[in-house]
């Protein structure tokens, strides 16, 4: 008897989706939509935009399902998410809107308290990074994508990616603590 | 020990990636060095701050839209076998001609193999144009069909093959460059993109982008090359940017796509 779908690994589910069992995408949506949405939200700081992009990511995962060859699912999905974000970013830029004129949500519901100020300051520090660095940092530190898988995602090697992420964290620390 | 000159060692330390021995040395150093204590503390707060950034739930409409999209895609997929069934029904002699084609190709392959064996005993040197996979031979046969819809089915089927032979790749490239129907040319591009491990397929996509004149095909090729993260397409895409005859919306796609190839 075959395994119940909800017990399958991400990779087994996606392989079955790629073979035409599209219903299994529901389980992957359940497991990943929060992560993808929150990655996009931190990249864009725009709730409605992140929701649209998140929808687009799962649509593309379905559309390109036959190109999935059984690699680790999370890096594969986040590569789609990253590309969707870069597309969005370029489109916003070319509309001459510039991301800084978009309505950004406040980092916390209740600003003013010390902890919330720290969060605001960390968001500010993240905003100082360029888009590619920001994405690498969030994928590694928030989404737990390992150096090795990031290296594969961006066509680099593990050592170089590790050094890069360490540099990004060092840069972030400077912004986080020294901007005043 | 001396003060570490980069943040890297501290980050490995905070990530728990150092050996016990290295970690002990750093801990000892921390006790005696105020400046490193500050670095360590700030990096720790930065890394922990990141991990503790608040998460949010998306609105319920995300799931509703996802479910609707999934149903649409399922409906599209369900409609595809009907196309295949129709092809078989409309052309009952197809199976017979496929068998004939198999026999013909096998005999050609045999003849070529025999011919090559005379020149060399190395089995690997036998011409790569032979194809022994029946599914592939059938696909090749369907690709020659006069009906564009049959050729589209063949292109769709070709994507199920794990590894295409040179013959099939050449046939796909031929459809991409010369088919009279735009839909078939676009489907051929998509079929080729399913074989990213084949440099011939990638090269053909780049070349097609260089030569394509139809904006829909250009956009499809740009999307596929970006999706494949094909660095060799960068010069061609840069050339498109300065091409005065291209429509704005194609240029726009290049502008969006180029920075994504990393």
Chains A–B, number of C-beta pairs less than 8 Å apart:
120
pLDDT tens digits, residue range B196-214? 889 999 999 999 999 988 8
pLDDT tens digits, residue range B13-51? 999 999 999 999 999 999 999 999 999 999 999 999 999
More confident residue, B112 or A153: A153
The pLDDT of residue B256 is: 85
Specify the length of chain B in residues: 262
- C-alpha B177/C-alpha A121 separation (Å) is 54
Reported confidence tier of residue B119, pLDDT bands at 50, 70, 90: very low
pLDDT tens digits, residue range A89-106? 888 877 655 445 445 555
Contact A17, A24 (CB under 8 A): yes
More confident residue, B132 or A61: A61
Among A125, A122, A123, A120, smallest CA distance to A109 is for A120
Whether A53 shows a pLDDT value over 90: the answer reads yes
pLDDT tens digits, residue range A7-50? 899 999 999 999 999 999 999 999 999 999 999 999 999 999 99
Of the listed ranges A19-23, B41-45, B58-62, B122-126, the least confidently predicted one is B122-126
**Candidate from B62, B231, B260 with C-beta closest to A51:** B62
The pLDDT of residue A110 is: 53
DSSP string, B151-174: HHHHHHHHTT-SS--HHHHHHHHH
Of the listed ranges A75-89, B161-175, B245-259, the least confidently predicted one is B245-259
The pLDDT of residue B20 is: 94
Mutate to test the interface with A, among B6, B41, B46, B262 (most CBs of A within 10 A): B46
Among A23, A51, A8, A164, smallest CA distance to B11 is for A164
Residues 6+ apart with CB under 8 A from B42: A173, A176, A177
What B149-156 contacts at long range (C-beta under 8 Å, 24+ apart), as own/partner pairs, is B149/B83, B149/B87, B150/B87, B150/B91, B151/B175, B151/B179, B151/B181, B151/B184, B152/B83, B152/B183, B152/B184, B152/B187, B153/B83, B153/B84, B153/B87, B155/B184, B155/B187, B155/B188, B155/B190, B155/B191, B156/B80, B156/B187, B156/B191
The pLDDT of residue B126 is: 35
The pLDDT of residue B66 is: 94
**Candidate from B46, B65, B73 with C-beta closest to A22:** B73
Reported confidence tier of residue B99, pLDDT bands at 50, 70, 90: low
Q: What percent of chain B has pLDDT over 90?
A: 40
A 3-62 residues with CB below 8 A of B?
20, 22-23, 25-26, 29, 33-34, 37-38, 41-42, 47, 50-51, 54-55, 58-59, 62
Q: Where are the beta strands (DSSP E) in chain B?
A: none
Mean pLDDT in chain B? 81
Whether A66 shows a pLDDT value over 50: the answer reads yes
d(CA B127, nearest CA chain A) in Å? 28
Of the listed ranges A121-135, A161-175, B134-148, the least confidently predicted one is B134-148
> What ipTM describes this predicted complex?
0.88
Reported confidence tier of residue B82, pLDDT bands at 50, 70, 90: very low
B 141-160 residues with CB below 8 A of A?
159
B226 vs A contacts (CB less than 8 Å): 83
pTM to 2 decimal places: 0.59
């Amino acid at each position: 008897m075959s395994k119940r779908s909800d017990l399958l690994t991400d990779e087994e589910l996606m392989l079955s989706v790629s073979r035409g069992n599209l219903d299994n995408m529901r389980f992957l949506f359940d497991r990943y939509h929060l992560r993808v949405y929150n990655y996009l939200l931190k990249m864009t700081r725009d709730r409605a935009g992140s929701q649209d992009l998140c929808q687009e990511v799962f649509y593309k995962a379905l559309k390109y399902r036959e190109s999935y060859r059984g690699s680790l699912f999370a890096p594969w999905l986040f590569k789609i998410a990253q590309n969707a974000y870069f597309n969005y970013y370029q489109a916003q830029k070319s509309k001459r809107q510039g991301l800084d004129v978009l309505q950004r949500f406040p980092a916390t519901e209740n600003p003013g308290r010390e902890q919330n100020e720290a969060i605001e300051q960390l968001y500010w520090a993240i905003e100082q990074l360029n888009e590619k660095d920001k994405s690498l940092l969030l994928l590694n530190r928030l989404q737990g994508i390992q150096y090795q898988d990031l290296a594969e995602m961006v066509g680099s090697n593990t050592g170089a990616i590790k050094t890069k992420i360490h540099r990004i964290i060092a840069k972030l620390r400077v912004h986080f603590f020294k901007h005043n | 020990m001396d003060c570490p000159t980069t943040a890297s060692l501290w980050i490995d330390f905070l990530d728990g990636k150092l050996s016990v021995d290295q970690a002990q040395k750093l801990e000892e150093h921390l006790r005696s060095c105020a400046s490193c204590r500050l670095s360590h503390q700030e990096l720790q707060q930065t890394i922990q701050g990141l991990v503790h950034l608040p998460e949010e739930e998306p609105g319920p409409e995300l799931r509703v839209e996802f479910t609707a999209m999934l149903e649409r895609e399922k409906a599209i997929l369900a409609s595809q076998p009907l196309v295949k069934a129709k092809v078989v029904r409309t052309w009952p002699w197809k199976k017979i001609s496929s068998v004939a084609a198999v026999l013909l190709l096998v005999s050609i392959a045999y003849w070529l193999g025999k011919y090559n064996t005379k020149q060399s005993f190395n089995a690997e040197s036998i011409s790569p144009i032979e194809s022994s996979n029946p599914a592939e031979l059938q696909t090749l046969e369907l690709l020659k069909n006069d009906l564009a819809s049959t050729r589209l089915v063949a292109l769709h089927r070709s994507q199920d093959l794990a590894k295409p032979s040179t013959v099939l790749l050449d046939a796909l490239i031929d459809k991409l460059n010369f088919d009279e129907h735009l839909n078939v040319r676009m489907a051929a591009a998509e079929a080729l993109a399913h074989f990213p491990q084949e440099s011939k397929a990638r090269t053909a996509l780049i070349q097609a982008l260089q030569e394509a004149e139809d904006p829909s095909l250009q956009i499809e090729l740009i999307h596929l090359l970006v999706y494949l993260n094909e660095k060799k397409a960068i010069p061609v895409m840069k050339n498109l940017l300065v091409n005065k005859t291209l429509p704005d919306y194609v240029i726009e796609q290049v502008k969006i796509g180029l920075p994504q190839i990393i």
